[in-house]
Chains A and B, each alone.
Chain A
Amino acid sequence: MLTVISFYLLAFISIASAFMVVASKNPVHSVMYLILTFFSAAGLFILMGAEFLALLIIMVYVGAVAVLFLFVVMMLDVDFVELKQGFLSYLPVGVLVAVILLLEMLMVGAAYFAGETKTVVVRDAGISNLEAFGQVLYTDYAGVFEAAGFVLLVAMIGAIVLTLRKRDGVRKQIPFEQISRTKETGLKVVDIEPGVGIE
């Protein structure tokens, strides 16, 4: 009974907060609702017994991705009133996306209930979530896994290259030089002639 109660609670919260992501006026509040959505989705995963996946969602999406969202949204200089104008002109596109998503979900559901989907089979019972993941991810799907890692690496290098620019006239700190400074290299003793000054 506790499972049922928690399922409906989490499901309700996730749908309601997903709605509020779109509906709330302030973008920062939107991101907050998005975080709540992620959080309840993680709760649903725990109810299904996938605790590893749930904690990974919290760590990656809530702990890192949503923080960056929040960073960007907070630093945007947007006029909220202006943002709301012309809201309805995006309606056709939104409806189109919604219909496509709904159709896709219906297709998947239909395939599932027609019994045409493959079911996931646990290799040996009694192992934890984590071990089950490891066994599949680093054996059967090792190639795909590495490819995914490679794509992320390329994306990272791309981001670095995009933001890397050479600027002239900027004085850069070289930590090595700062640390390796000694009395001999950093200090000069000068006898000052009266009325002459240094150099």
Chain B
Amino acid sequence: MITSLIFFWSDLSPMMWFGLKLAQVAAFVLILSVILAFLILMDRKVWAAVQMRRGPNVVGPFGLLQSFADLLKFVFKEIIIPAGSDKSLFILAPLITLVMAFLAWAVVPIAPGWVMSDINVGVLYVLAISSLGVYGIIIGGWASNSKYPFMGALRSTAQMISYEVSIGFIILTVVFLAGSMNLSEIVSSQAGGFYNWNMFRFNPYNTYGWWNLLLFPIMFYMGILFFISALAETNRPPFDLPEAESELVAGFMVEYSSTPYLLFMFGEYLNMTLMCAMFTILFLGGWGAPIEIGVQFIPPVFWFMGKCLFMFFMFAMVKAIVPRYRYDQLMRLGWKVFLPVSLMSVVIVSTIVVFAGGAS
């Protein structure tokens, strides 16, 4: 079925291809947005549950329609643009955040063959696009022409650049093990069961043989580091220094209201789900079932979404139970702990890969 799909795409005339791809992208964006609306609700519900509150429960059954009510509320409010701001950049900033957050999803494989664009350098593409997300924040902070937004933007940018480095190295270990930068191939290299996933590599009968027992602790640790770096990268608590409301009001978003604010918020949550998806793909075997006996009737997309949901739940729990870091501690953690450790792991993992002669 997959090959016939590929032939289908390559046989089309360019204009036809353009139109169909556009429709596909539009459908994907729509579905992702609707899913995200419920994820935001879930985030708030989990947070409320930890604090023994009920969370949103008025709009719709169990508050299910709360996100849509919020959408309408934001959209119908007046857009206030500060007089001293740089107007074009002020409007551009949230758009950049949102567009970059959506763009990265183009290479994320959801199930076998279910991917917008199956490119060879998928990992690099995700890294490149997520490094562009910084611009939305730094431009937004600067264009507001105000002190707190600018400080928030500077903090946020420094934080995101720092943690991007360690994320890059951590992803590199996975790329070495899979021998490919194609996200679909990274997923299929972990197929077979949960003992082949990069997070829990304790199956001595796959590519790297008994070396897996040495790789297991390293990769498990890398998975944890990736999760923490992802928290820092998406400005989530405990690393939400850019929007630390006790110090900076709301960081780079202080001057934003109504729809532009909504776009910022939406982009942030999209980035979070992207990080959940990346963690699922890189460390939890993507669409693969944990045990491949007797569960073939469940479609792969279910596993992918289930794992993503679990990761999102973890994000929400961390927000609820971990206190905020101090800024200098955050930078020290990034540069003096995560960077050396991940660099060392890259060296060790690549040595093992060459020595055990796994991926070519």
> Is the beta-carbon distance between A52 and B121 smaller than 8 angstroms?
yes
Q: Is A62 an interface residue (CB 8 A)?
A: yes
Known: A63-B134, A64-B161, A67-B157. A173 touches B328 (CB 8 A): yes
In the bound complex, CA of A128 to CA of B182 (Å): 11
A152 to chain B, nearest CB (A): 14
CB pair A59–B328 under 8 Å, yes or no, is no
The answer to whether residues A55 and B161 also contact, given A74-B142, A175-B332 and a CB cut-off of 8 A, is no
* Stretch from B76-84, B122-130, B203-211, B259-267 that touches the partner: B122-130
Measured CB to CB, the closest approach of chain A to B346, in angstroms, equals 15
Name B180-222 residues within 8 Å CB distance of A: 181
Q: Are A64 and B14 in contact (CB under 8 A)?
A: no
Tell whether, in the assembled complex, residue B132 and residue A62 are in contact, meaning their CB atoms are under 8 Å apart: yes
The bracket for how many chain B residues form the interface is 20 to 34
- Asked if B121 contacts A51 (CB within 8 A), the reply is yes
Output the least CB separation between A183 and chain B (Å): 21
- The number of inter-chain residue pairs (CB within 8 angstroms) is 63
Chain A residues, Cβ within 8 Å of B43: none
Q: Whole-angstrom distance between the alpha carbons of A62 and B150 in the complex?
A: 20
Whole-angstrom distance between the Cβ of B15 and the nearest chain A Cβ: 8
Decide if B131 is an interface residue (CB 8 Å cutoff): yes
Contact between chains at B328 and A64 (CB < 8 Å) = no
Residues of A within 8 Å of B329, CB to CB, are 175
Distance in angstroms from B160 CB to nearest chain A CB is 9
Task: Please provide the chain B residues from 80 to 95 with a CB less than 8 Å away from any CB of chain A in the complex.
Answer: 86, 89
For residue A41, CB closer than 8 A to chain B, the reply is: no
In the bound assembly, the distance between CA atoms of A51 and B128 in angstroms comes to 12
**Shortest Cβ distance from residue B305 to the other chain A in the assembled complex, whole angstroms:** 28
**Chain A residues within 8 Å of B, Cβ to Cβ:** 1-2, 26, 28-29, 32, 35, 51-52, 55-56, 58-59, 62-64, 67, 70-71, 74, 128-130, 173, 175
The 3 tightest CB contacts between A and B, nearest first, are A63-B131, A58-B128, A2-B14
